[in-house]
Structure 1
Amino acid sequence: MASFLIIAPFGAFAMLMMVTSIAISLFAAAALSFGVVVWDVVRGGSLKMLAAGSVLIFSALGCYITLVDGNWSAVAVRLAVDVGLLSIVLLSLAIRLPFTLQYAREVVDAETSKLPGFMKANYILTWAWAGAFVLMLVADMLIIYMPSLPLWIGFAVAFAARNSAVAFTKWYPQYRRAKYGAAKPVEPLKP
């Protein structure tokens, strides 16, 4: 459920871009992102860098397009959103707090979160998301600089990259638990 809520604003944004204006899509995604922040805080979670950053990205772009320059193409807006998301991910790595860490700490016990492998796993997950966002950026740039390329290719790459990151995020912690799980207790030596 949590992974659905995390990506819901981006899915809503992509879907709305096909049926309504860019500004409406951005503001709806900002409202949904804000709703995710409120839901998370109300249920006792912490304010997450990705969720708060999403509110800022969607709101800022919506305001800019509404008040300053409404001539952006849908692909240019998607490119700006992807750059914003990649910036959040890279910033979280630069300040040594991978954005996945905030989510992971809320679903594991205190002892697990203190393990050295826990931090390593979150770095790996965050780098996987960075890779997904880079692929989405490349797809958007291909559509901008190669206009003869069918638009669906950009959507397919973005969909595949995002869903691959979600699947990896679900699979990798289970893999680590299976591989590095708690050691079996050592039986005392019998005299």
Structure 2
Amino acid sequence: MATFLILAPFGSFALLMLFTSAATSLFATAALALGIVVWDVARGGSVKMLAAGSALLFAAIGCYVTLIDGNWSRTALHLAVDLGVLAIALLSLVIRSPFTLQYAREQVDAETMKLPGFLAANYVITWAWTFAFVLMLLADMLVMFVPGLPLWIGFAIAFAARNAALYFTRWYPQYRRAKYAAGQTPPLKS
């Protein structure tokens, strides 16, 4: 469920861009992201950097498109969103609070959070997502700057990058636990 909520704004943005205007897509997605933040807090969770940052990102781009320059292409909008999400991920690493840590803390017990490897695992997983965001950004740039490149190639790269990051997020903690069970390193959960 958490993964769905994390990715819902980005999926809704991509879907809405197929059927509505850029401004409508951006503001509706900002509202969805804000709704997820409110829902998460209402159920006792914390405000997550990625969710709140996404709400601000979509609203800011929506305001720019509405008030300043409404002539952005669909690819340019995706590029701006991907760049913004990459900035959020990098900022979380710079301030030494990987964005995955907020989600992980709500899914594990207190003892697991105290393990030294817990934070390290979240850095690894956040770097994996950051790499996926870089690939998504490069895919948008390819579509935007390489004339004649089929649009589906950009979508395929972005889809593969996102799914690889999802798989890694699920696999890595299990891998670390299995390695610990074999007596090699302390367990890591995310």
Partner in structure 2 of residue 137 of structure 1: 137
Give the % identical residues.
72
Partner in structure 2 of residue 159 of structure 1: 159
Aligned AA for 2:93? L
Q: Structure 1 residue 84 and structure 2 residue 84: aligned?
A: yes
- Find the structure with the greater CA-based Rg: 1
Render the CA deviation track for 1:18-66: whole Å, top value 9, x for unaligned: 1111111111110110111011100100000000000000000001101
Aligned AA for 1:147? P
Partner in structure 1 of residue 50 of structure 2: 50
Aligned AA for 1:121? A
Segment drifting more, 15-24 vs 174-183: 174-183
RCO greater where, 1 or 2, for CA within 8 Å and sep 6 or more?
2
1:147 Cα offset (Å): 2.2
Q: Structure 1 residue 5 and structure 2 residue 5: aligned?
A: yes
Render the CA deviation track for 1:119-174: whole Å, top value 9, x for unaligned: 11000000000000000010011111102100111111111111111111111111
Q: Give the CA RMSD over aligned residues.
A: 1.2
Aligned AA for 2:82? D
Q: Which runs of 5+ in 1 are unaligned?
A: 184-191
Render the CA deviation track for 1:67-108: whole Å, top value 9, x for unaligned: 110000011110000010000000000011000000001111
Partner in structure 2 of residue 189 of structure 1: none
Q: Which runs of 5+ in 2 are unaligned?
A: 184-190
Q: 1:167 and 1:10 mapped to 2: Cα distance?
A: 18
1:182 Cα offset (Å): 9.7
Structure 2 length-normalised TM: 0.93
Structure 1 length-normalised TM: 0.93
Structure 1 residue runs of 4 or more that deviate by more than 2 Å after TM superposition: none
